[in-house]
Each structure stands twice: as C-alpha cells, then as structure tokens.
Amino acid sequence: MQNIKDKMEHFDWFKKWSVYNPDKVAFKEYETGREYTFAQVNHLANLTAQYFINDLGASTGDRVAVLSENNLEYMVLFAVAQKTGLTLVPLNYRLTSRELDFMLADSDPDIVLWEKHFADKIQNAAAYKTISHKIPMEKLSEMHKKYLSIDAFSYVGVHEFDDDHPLFLIYTSGTTAFPKGAKYTHKMLLWNSLNTEIRLDITSSDRAINCAPPFHTGSWNVLLATFVLHGAYTLLMRNFDADAVLEQMESDKHTIFWGVPTMLKLMVDSSKFESVDLSRIRYFVIGGEAMPIPLIKIWDRKGVPVRQGYGLTEVGPNVTSLDHSDAIRKQGSIGTPNFFYQTKLVNEQGKEVKNNEIGELIIKSATVTPGYWKNEEATQNTIIDGWFHTGDLMKIDDEGYLYVVDRIKNMYISGGENVYPAEVEHLIRQLEDVRDVAIIGVPHEKWGETGKAFIVKKSGSDLSEKQVIDYCRKNLAKYKTPAYIKFLEQLPVNNAGKIDRKTLRDQEKTEA
C-alpha cells in the first residue's frame, strides 16, 4: 500500500504546494476577481473527489466530461483528476450539439458538468441522456462555497493508477470524418512540464494569464501545468480580449505570456498598445503557426522578445523552442527540440534524410501519447516502432534548427514535382493587399494536379487574379505557381481556429 500511496502522491501537485506554500494564490479569475490559494484548491479537490467517489460511485478510470470556459471550478477538477485517476474530457463549447454528441458517445463519461449558458447545447446531444450524473457547474460552485467553510482536514484516499493512465482525453480536430480522442497521461504532463521549465526558465515567481480555451491542449499544457508544478500564479480569463490582456499584464505584473500570432496582432492594433508598460515581461511564447517577421520586430521595439515553438496535442505539446535571441537570425524556424526528446526526419521509406532535405518529423519521448481512445487503427498508423509520426514535413539546417515545410496531407504533386502549399502561401502573404491565403491541390488535365489559391483581400483592395499569378511566376518555379485564384470574404476555419482545408476541398469537389 505504501508504494501505491507514494505513486499517487507523485502526481498530486496541489497537495505538495498546500504544504510548501499554502497561502499563495494559485489561480484568480479576471472577470470576477475570485481567487484560490494552493491550499484551497487542494482542500476543495479532496472534498470534491470524495463526493464523486463516495456519493456518485465514480472510480479511477471513469471519464468526467466538462463543457465550460476557464474558471476556478475547472482548476479544482484538474486537481481531482490528479488525485484520483478520474479522466477529464474537456468539451469544445464552439461545437454544435451534433458534434458534441459524438464526443460524449465516444468518451462515455460517468459524469458531465456544464455551465448554464451551454445548457441547450449539451442537453440537445443525444448521448447526454445516457450519462449517469449530470451536474451544472453552478451547483459545483455552490458546493465549493460550503466546502470552504469546513475547517476540518480533508483527505482523499489513495487510488492506484500508473504513469500511462489518462489524465485527459483531448479531442483533436484533424482532417478525418470524426475527431480522435488523444490520451493525455500523467506521465506526459510531468515530462512536458519539465521540458517547458528547462527551456523557458519557469520559476515559482512567474505570473501569467491563461486566455486559451480549455478544450485545447495549449490551455493546460503550454504554461498552466508547468506553473502548477512550480507553484506559480495564473490569471484565468474566459476569452481573449486584446485590451484586457494588455492591461492585466501590466497591472497584474506578469512575467511571461503564451498565445498565437493572431493574438499578438490584435494587441498591436489595440489603443492600449503604445502606452502599456510591459517591462516585467521576459518574453512571449508563440505557437500554432509561424509568426511574421514584421510582427516580431514590432514587439521587439516594444521591448518584448518573442520565442516561437512547435507542438501537437499528442506529443507534449511543447516539442521545440526557438530562443528569442534567434528570432530574426533564424526567422521561419521552430527552433530545436526540447530537452527530453529524440527526433528524426525521415523519407517515405523511413530512412533518415540529410540536412536541408525534406522529411517527416518523427518523435520518441515520454511525452508521446500511448494512443487514441478506442481507436487502435489510428494508434498503429501513427505510433510505429515507438516513434510518433507527426505528419509534418520539415527540414533541418546545418546548425540543427528545424523548419516546418508543410503537412504531408497538404502536399500535392504537379508534373511529378512535390509542391508544399505553405511555401507558396508564405510568398503570397507578402503582398500588401493580402490578408490571408490558403492553397489546395486540385485536378489538372496536363499536370495531374495544380494549386488553387483562396485569397482574402484587405478592405478596399482591387488586387486581381493576374497580379497574383504574375507575382508568383516572378518568384517561384512555374510548377509551384497556382493555376487558379479565387477571392473569398473569409477562409473557413475548424474548431481549433486553423484554416479548414478539408472544407475547401469538399467545396471544390461539389462545384466540380
């Protein structure tokens, strides 16, 4: 029993900090001003775990689905999962009832919690009716108020689970017909946090805001979990707001920020940008997509260095990091692999490619998922001989810096030559009149395939198809130049906020 207890406590980070620094604030809500110390989170998690297990009959391995924005109750549920082996299933509140129904049916939770403004969405999902225990988050909040008045020492009994036990099931959007539930384990959480702290120099004195939606791995695992491991402070914000984020970074004395390039662009456009004091910020950590160099330079002039990185739900997600000192010198790079990773670039035959040649990134690490929930086929197709196949094509330079070329599924072949849309998209984005662009491969009678560029022009622009094609012909090999241009008001995006190429392909097939 002692070994089980030791193992369980190895995962119970809030219990540790409730001893080391019990009165330090762990989380604060921006919208309400409510805050919990590490001791309060630990106390609430123990009593909530007792309620789930003793009153509701939940046990280690049962899933707890949650449809909620960032709030203190969600953080307590995170602590409950660490203590008990219950598995959190963060649901995407941007989905429809039909889409949520698939996730509920697939994950088969014993408990579901939701915020009242999402009630119709969750209750209209057919699988909702099959769930044993349905708890509004507002009820949980009221329970927590009562728990805080209980002065007696609270402790949840030891529950046996191992390193590879899922802490989360995080559903990936992907390009398949249905999302896949990636198992995110306790071991992944620990080793990803160690990778992050080493590369980013995280300490207990750090302070940051978390405004990413909790159904994304980045919300939990870019900074928040690492902050919990170190006993650092996190301000929770339900949704990103450029003005509010800038104001809070100054008034709340933040030291680091994680986001995506779109967030940084919106902050630059904010009326608060010029006057806000960000002198305490060490740097911004950016992921999701490559950040334009002009935007990096704007933040550099503001005195805020930018670190770019790369990751994915099933691995880490903090896989690589580009030191901010190299942001300009190694522009376009995602940096070098983080501390506890083995990486290789391989060709279609599985052989490692040479420097400056294109290959698929494959990864071996303790941060790699053991697989997909109830989807052995996808697991076997992705994890081969212990190596996770990312599906991302990259090249590595002579100094060991990685550069993303494109997704394997995005590549098309024109006249026998491989074309990587990301390269062409990057060029087209340099046109002053272009706000955004996406390119897919479409059938071509002579060349087999060619590119079709979907372009969103800036307001008031009179950019023509001919101007785009002429520009590409001047700067690219002929086979890379898209044969077709289509202007759109906006590009379709998926639930992760990324360009939805599948929708573009489906539309093309329908029109053809």
Residue with tokens 């390269």: 423
Per-residue pLDDT, 2: 42
Q: How many Cβ atoms are within 10 Å of 10's Cβ, its own excluded? A: 13
Distance CA 148, CA 143 (A): 9
Distance CA 65, CA 110 (A): 8
- CA angle at 224 for the pair 269 and 246, rounded to the nearest 5°: 20
Per-residue pLDDT, 169: 98
Q: What is the mean pLDDT of residues 214-221?
A: 94
List helix spans (H) across 284-393.
Answer: 293-301, 376-382
Instruction: Return the higher-pLDDT residue of 415 and 505.
Output: 505
Q: Which residues contact 301 (CB under 8 A, 6 or more apart)?
A: none
Q: What is the mean pLDDT of residues 187-216?
A: 96
Q: What is the mean pLDDT of residues 495-503?
A: 78
Per-residue pLDDT, 478: 85
Q: Which residues contact 359 (CB under 8 A, 6 or more apart)?
A: 344, 345, 346, 347, 352, 353, 393, 394, 395
- CA proximity to 15, closest of 146, 156, 120, 147: 156
- CA proximity to 229, closest of 257, 265, 266, 202: 202
Strand partners, 308: 286, 322
pLDDT of 353 strictly over 90: yes
Q: Assign residue 220 a region: left if phi > 0, alpha if psi is -120 to 50, beta otherwise?
A: alpha
Q: What is the mean pLDDT of residues 448-465?
A: 93
Q: How many Cβ atoms are within 10 Å of 122's Cβ, its own excluded? A: 24
- CA proximity to 280, closest of 247, 242, 254, 248: 254
Contact 74, 61 (CB under 8 A): no
132 DSSP 8-state letter: S
| Cα-based distances in Å from 436 to 200, 432, 450, 487 | 31, 11, 20, 10
3-state SS of the chain: helix, strand, coil percent to 5? 35, 25, 35
Q: What is the mean pLDDT of residues 426-445?
A: 91
The mean predicted confidence, pLDDT, of the chain is: 92
In terms of Cβ atoms closer than 10 Å to its own Cβ (0-12, 13-18, 19+), residue 134 is middle
pTM: 0.85
Contact 90, 77 (CB under 8 A): no
For the chain, domain boundaries: 411-511
Instruction: Return the higher-pLDDT residue of 498 and 428.
Output: 428
Select the CATH number that applies to the domain covering 411-511 from these four: 3.40.50.10490, 3.40.50.300, 3.30.300.30, 3.30.70.20: 3.30.300.30
Q: Which residues contact 250 (CB under 8 A, 6 or more apart)?
A: 276, 277, 278
Residue type, position 39, single letter = A
**151-197: per-residue pLDDT in tens?**
766 777 667 899 999 999 999 865 455 789 999 999 999 999 999 99
> Token digits for 205?
């004195």
pLDDT of 450 strictly over 80: yes
- DSSP, residue by residue, 227-262: HHHHT-EEEE-SS--HHHHHHHHHHTT--EEEE-HH
> Token digits for 312?
């994915």
> Token digits for 380?
């076997």
The whole-angstrom distance between residue 301's C-alpha and the CA centroid of its chain comes to 28
Per-residue pLDDT, 157: 67
Residue 495 confidence class, pLDDT cut points 50, 70, 90: low
**237-276: per-residue pLDDT in tens?**
999 999 999 999 999 999 999 998 888 988 999 999 999 9
